[in-house]
Chains A and B, each alone.
Chain A
Amino acid sequence: MARALSLRRRSLTAVVGWAVGLLLFFPILWMVITSFKTELEAFSTPPRFLFFDWTVENFGIVQQRSDYLKFAGNSIVLSLGSTLLGLAFAIPTAWAMAFAPARRTKDVLLWMLSTKMMPPVGALIPVYLLFKDSGLLDSRVGLIGVEFLLNLPIIVWMLFTYFKEIPADILEAARMDGATLWREIVYVLTPMAVPGIASTVLLNVILAWNEAFWTLNLTTTDAAPLTVFIASYSSPEGLFWAKLSAASTMAIAPILVLGWFSQRQLVRGLTFGAVK
């Protein structure tokens, strides 16, 4: 009896679970479906869910009309560039904080995090004017710099929490054997920290890829990533639903896949370790 009840309960949970999951996922699913329609079908009511002539022409048109690949290239360069630059700064910092903590280490760490809480509009105007005067507006170098600074606190933080889990005895042993700091970092610490570093890279690439405040305000064409590419579809010209969907699908697909891989690290990275 109890067993039958629990089976019934389980199947009910499954039905509710799948219904809720599909409902929340629906906007994305609908976008992907629409990207395979012709404009006429995309606009038609009643909407067609599966039975229409599937076509891939929109993807070609989007590439031809607004050069998707150029924007995608910028997205890759900006997100990878800023993350790698961040790693170069953050690995030594997080190493020192985790293994050679001083009295003020905690304060420095919290202060670094607090820079993340500064609203971007507080810095927008000077950064915009400085960029304009120095020719950095719409340049990849300038944007990499900004995204690097945006993510540096999170990178330091995540690496710090990962490094702290590495037993200090091993480093002690390496030091006893006369390893220099550089060797200690390269040969002992880094190999053990690779999983943590990989998760950090993943999460920060995602954050940089989707960053839309600075990219919308500081770039127009040359350095513009996919966030700006999609924003150019905000002023419609005729029937454009299918093309918008195709462009959107291409803009989010790579990062959605990465995101699904990084879901376990997400909580840790985004709550700064406040929830484990």
Chain B
Amino acid sequence: MATRHASALARTAIAPSALVLFLWMIVPLGMTIYFSLLHYSLLDPGNESFIGFLNYRYFLTDPAFFTALFNTLKLLGAVLALTVVGGILLALLLDQPFFGRGIVRLMVIAPFFVMPTVSALIWKNLLMHPVSGLFAWLAKSVGLRPIDWFAEAPLAAISLIVAWQWLPFAALILLTALQSLDQEQKEAAEMDGAPPISYFFHIVLPHLGRAITVVILIETIFLLNVFAEIRVTTGGGPGLQTTNIPFLVYAQALLQFDVGGASAGGIVAVILANIVAFFLVRMIGRNLEA
């Protein structure tokens, strides 16, 4: 009797959150799907008409789509590589005891708290500027030609900025995982005189496997959606060189006012993200049972 009462109460307690999240998920998504099947342009109001999958055909056969898709994947790959490898090295470093480790740790995680618009503009103007940037000065002082980052290698520049923001996240999570490594195992390996390299590859890396997977999956969800950094530095250019899928959809909707086409793009982005989300949710679910 009491339990039935409690479970009724529990349902009442869960319902509001579940309801608002359900609406938040289903209403915009439903509308996006609906728009994606219409000819719907804000420049041509009142002439909305059903056109089936034509928007998808236009979007998916537009060369801009493939450029944006490849840019999205290049950005994702570059940032993942930099943050995972850098994160492992940083975690190994921060796992060692040394003087002032607490302060170094604070310095290392700081970039994660910098809002995307700030980090993008600071890197662009103070560090990567071809005339007055610090990188240009460093290059000149060792006799190299300064790189005009946002003209010559715009996507690499953005990847570097985004990697700087996400490196602390990877390092922190890998460090947490590293600290749960059995102390006795560490000492035993040391006693046996296992060389550091083989100790790393045979004990540390396998132990980190799960945490690395989590880092990759969570970063992927966010990195597929990089937007602010592109908007405030390059605006997707030069040409389409830094246009990724979110930026392409944004440009089509709010700069070209093609609601139908942009919606089709949005749905394509949702499908891509869902593939990743599927694996992540399964992993978290498995952990819940453990």
Contact = CB atoms under 8 A, between A and B. Distances in A.
Interface residues of A, number: 98
Interface in A226-275: 226-228, 230-231, 233-234, 236, 241, 244-245, 248, 251-252, 255-256, 258-260, 263, 266-267, 270-275
Contact of A117 (B2, B113, B172, B276): B276
A9 B286 CA distance: 41
Given A125-B35, A125-B266, A28 B246 contact: no
Contacts of A45: 131-132, 136-137, 140
A217 B122 CA distance: 21
Nearest to B274: A117
Interface string B19-56: 01100110111011001000000000000000000000
Nearest to A153: B21
Contacts of B105: 21, 263
Contacts of B60: none
Interface of A: 10-11, 13-14, 16-18, 20-22, 24-25, 27-28, 30-31, 34, 42-47, 89-90, 92-93, 95-97, 99-100, 102, 106, 108-110, 112-130, 149, 152-153, 156, 175, 181, 206, 209-210, 212-213, 216-217, 226-228, 230-231, 233-234, 236, 241, 244-245, 248, 251-252, 255-256, 258-260, 263, 266-267, 270-276
Contacts of B167: 24
A248 B269 CA distance: 31
B109 A156 contact: no
B218 A27 contact: no
B214 interface: yes
Contacts of B21: 112, 115, 149, 152-153
Contact of A22 (B25, B107, B173, B276): B107
- Max chain B C-beta neighbours (<10 A), residue from A129, A130, A274: A274
Given A119-B224, A216-B228, 15 more contacts: A17-B100, A20-B93, A27-B126, A31-B118, A31-B122, A43-B132, A45-B131, A112-B18, A118-B277, A119-B273, A121-B269, A122-B28, A241-B125, A270-B173, A273-B284
